[in-house]
Amino acid sequence: MATVALLDGVVDELTAICGPDHVFTGRSAVFNRARVPAPFPVHRWEEHIPSAVVLPTSAEQVSEVVKLANRHGIPVVPRAGATGLTDGAVPLRHGIVVDIKLMNQILELDHENRTVTVGPGINMLKLNEELRKHGYIYPDDPASYPCSLVGGRIGTSGWSLIGARYGHTRDLVISFEMVLPTGEIIRVGDGGGPTVRKSSSGYQLKHLFMGHQGTLGIVTEATLELVKRPEAEFSMFFSYGSYMDAWRATGELARSGVATLAGVVLFDEEKIRYLRRDDEAYIPQPESVKAVIACAAYGNADEVRVGAKRLLRIGKASGGAYLGDEISQGDWASRHDRYATPQHGRTRDGQVALMSWHCEDAAIPYPQLPAVREKWHAIADSLRERFDMFDDWGIFAYTNGAFKPWGDYLTEIDIGIWEMKWDDESWAAWVDAKRELARVSIEHGGSISACHGACRAGEVDLVPTELGGGFEVMKTIKRALDPNNIMNPSKYLLGQAYEEE
């Protein structure tokens, strides 16, 4: 139960780098930086505590900490908002947590190039409160919009609710500064200067350094896209009598070619049944409502208006029933901070139990959605039958492509987990189920993760299967950039990169 001690003198060195007020080793400091919202083995909490926490205030400090870690062979785990739904920020081998929350300044607003340069610790909602004064928005809008931070968005290569219109994190971050695993500070983008959107010079390093879950370094500054603040928002919710009817309509809406379309969301029958438990929008719906589609559009008022009418026509012609403005507007507005709340959980006899939220986040090709849906529910049902601590909260499918919303869908099955009940047996069953969910995604031509990252226990075992030869390239890159295996070691099975051939 003891905290994991660092070598003598290391804390003093960290203090010399970051200052006395920004280095912590106390028990509450480390126990409170061990977890994120993803399912967490509470019964094995101390396995995940870091040995020390630093809150640096500059890229130079981050670099010096990383160099120090290399000298002493101490793991480094970057931590931004700690709102991730995979466990990128969870230390697997203790070490130093580099918490970048103090680096949250707006550094430069460039009206000519329409970019804003920020520290990685800034939150999007707070950034947009400032940008609004100038008529801009930075439209990276995950369900954690009011709490996740730009650095974490880059570390996970996040997905945005309105990405079909404005792009996702990778499209909205133009360039960024990185501290590499050996401490060098570089700037990566498409190529060229920090505001260049499209370049063909050399390798496209921006993508390499996105979504690496802290295994390839730490972001210390980012230059972001500035978008004209939308004049108008339009959201519509349509109900359908069956999942298949709604699935067909979803495809039609996504393929409509409406330029202001920001996203289409498909709620399956189990999701509607679940929402009837406690959601004021769904409780009064008649039993005939089996599936729902939500749709949103943003942009100039005249363009949104024309596009909206086209979407409404499709909704109507596909057999859908408009659910009214109150639900359409109210429910949509709640999607910007739509993390599950524990009270949604129910035991098999219907009693409320406080459950944590697992959100599977596969990318699934449109034609495969019905088949994946059936297999996933079967896995969740089997878990619930064996352990009265899991709960099937239904499936969503969101248009996944940037700018072009047809094709594949961010598909999530939400599973409630009563974490107070964890023991080794239930944890092992969960990890097995998690692996099976991921296997279904891959078998249907999808990807384990559209937005959170695929390094959670269970699913991570199948990353080599999903990526094939690409995983060998990942290991080669990891070994080349991080020769001492300092950055978030063991994450993404990358410990394998250092095993004897």
Partner 1 sequence: MAETTASDQRTNGAQTAGTQETNGAVQALIEEWRDVAYNCFSSGHKFCREVCPVMQVTRDERHTPTAFHANVVAMEKGHLSIEDVAEDYVHCTMCGACELRCPNSLFTGDFYRFRQRTIDVVKAMRALAVQSGVHQKNWKRWAELTNRWGNEPVLGWTKETSANKVRAWAVGLNIPTGGETILFADCEAAFYRPSVPRSVAQLLTAAGVKFGLMNQQWCCGGPMWETGYVDIAHAMAEHNMLDWRKTNTKRIVCLDPHDYITIVENYPALDPNFDEFEIVLAVDLIAEKIREGKLKLTTPVRRTVTYHDPCRLNKRMGVWKAPREILRAIPGLTFVDVDHVTQWSYCSGAGSNLGVEKPELTAEISRRRMAKAGELDGVDTLVSACPWSERPLTEQGEAQGIEVFDIFELVAEAAGFEV
Partner 2 sequence: MLGFRLSAEKPPQAHRVTDVVINRFEHVYEVDPALMTEHVHQQAIPNWEFNRIVENRWEHLAWMHDHFAESVLSGEGLLAEVEAEG
Binding interface with partner 2 (CB under 8 A): 125, 128-129, 132, 137, 141, 229-236, 276-278, 280, 283-284, 298, 301, 304-305, 308-309, 312-313, 316, 322, 324-325, 328-330, 333-334, 336, 343, 346-347, 350-354
280 binds partner 1 (CB under 8 A): yes
**x/- letters, 412..441, toward partner 1 (CB under 8 A):** -------xx---------------------
Q: Which of 56, 81, 214, 217 binds partner 1 (CB under 8 A)?
A: 81
What does the alpha-carbon distance between residue 282 and residue 317 come to, in Å, rounded to a whole number?
Answer: 23
357 binds partner 1 (CB under 8 A): yes
Segment contacting partner 1 by CB under 8 A, of 23-31, 168-176, 264-272, 446-454: 23-31
| Cβ–Cβ < 8 Å for 233, 260 | no
Burial of residue 222 (CB within 10 Å: 0-12, 13-18, 19+) is: buried
**x/- letters, 306..335, toward partner 1 (CB under 8 A):** ----------------------------x-
Cβ 91 to partner 1 shortest distance, Å: 14
For residue 475, which amino acid is it? K
Q: 237: which strand partners?
A: 294
| Cβ–Cβ < 8 Å for 261, 269 | no
Q: Which residue, 249 or 457, is less far from partner 2 as judged by CB?
A: 249
Q: 106: which strand partners?
A: 118
Cβ 313 to partner 2 shortest distance, Å: 6
Cβ 373 to partner 2 shortest distance, Å: 24
Site for partner 1 in 161-220 (CB under 8 A): none
For residue 243 the two structure tokens come to: 């999942």
Q: Which of 59, 77, 82, 291 binds partner 1 (CB under 8 A)?
A: 82
11 binds partner 1 (CB under 8 A): yes
| Nearest Cα residue to 442 out of 468, 414, 473 | 468
What does the alpha-carbon distance between residue 263 and residue 402 come to, in Å, rounded to a whole number?
Answer: 10
Look at residue 230 and give the partner it binds from partner 1, partner 2, none, a contact being a CB closer than 5 to 8 Å depending on partner kind: partner 2
What does the alpha-carbon distance between residue 59 and residue 56 come to, in Å, rounded to a whole number?
Answer: 8
| Nearest Cα residue to 40 out of 347, 491, 418, 381 | 418
Cβ 254 to partner 2 shortest distance, Å: 18
Q: 385: which strand partners?
A: none
Helix (H) or strand (E) holding 186: strand 185-189
Cβ 80 to partner 1 shortest distance, Å: 11
Kindly calculate the radius of gyration of the chain based on its CA atoms and give it in whole angstroms. Answer: 23
337 binds partner 1 (CB under 8 A): yes
Segment contacting partner 1 by CB under 8 A, of 96-104, 298-306, 362-370, 449-457: 96-104
**x/- letters, 144..163, toward partner 1 (CB under 8 A):** x-xx----------------
Look at residue 498 and give the partner it binds from partner 1, partner 2, none, a contact being a CB closer than 5 to 8 Å depending on partner kind: none
Query: Mapped to the 3 state alphabet, what secondary structure does 418-440 carry?
Result: CHHHCCHHHHHHHHHHHHHHHHH
Spell 413-429 as b/e; 16+ CB within 10 A means b: bbbbbbbeebeeebbeb
Look at residue 476 and give the partner it binds from partner 2, partner 1, none, a contact being a CB closer than 5 to 8 Å depending on partner kind: none
Burial of residue 496 (CB within 10 Å: 0-12, 13-18, 19+) is: middle
Cβ 245 to partner 2 shortest distance, Å: 19
- DSSP character at residue 123: B
What does the alpha-carbon distance between residue 41 and residue 56 come to, in Å, rounded to a whole number?
Answer: 29
346 binds partner 1 (CB under 8 A): no
12 binds partner 1 (CB under 8 A): yes
For residue 81 the two structure tokens come to: 């908002």
For residue 74, which amino acid is it? I
Q: What phi and psi, each to the nearest 5 degrees, are found at residue 396?
A: -110, 150
Cβ 132 to partner 2 shortest distance, Å: 8
Cβ 416 to partner 2 shortest distance, Å: 13
Cβ 375 to partner 1 shortest distance, Å: 27
104 binds partner 1 (CB under 8 A): yes
Cβ 417 to partner 1 shortest distance, Å: 8
What does the alpha-carbon distance between residue 76 and residue 324 come to, in Å, rounded to a whole number?
Answer: 51
Cα 283 versus chain centre, distance: 29
Look at residue 81 and give the partner it binds from partner 1, partner 2, none, a contact being a CB closer than 5 to 8 Å depending on partner kind: partner 1
Cβ 52 to partner 2 shortest distance, Å: 36
What does the alpha-carbon distance between residue 319 and residue 238 come to, in Å, rounded to a whole number?
Answer: 9
- The H helix count followed by the E strand count for the chain is 16, 19
Residues near partner 1 (CB under 8 A), total:
59
Q: 97: which strand partners?
A: 53, 77
Which positions lie near partner 1, rule CB under 8 A? 1-3, 11-12, 14-15, 20-21, 23-29, 31-33, 35-37, 40, 42, 45-46, 55, 81-83, 99, 101-102, 104, 121, 123, 125-126, 129, 144, 146-147, 278, 280, 334, 337, 339-344, 352, 354-357, 419-420
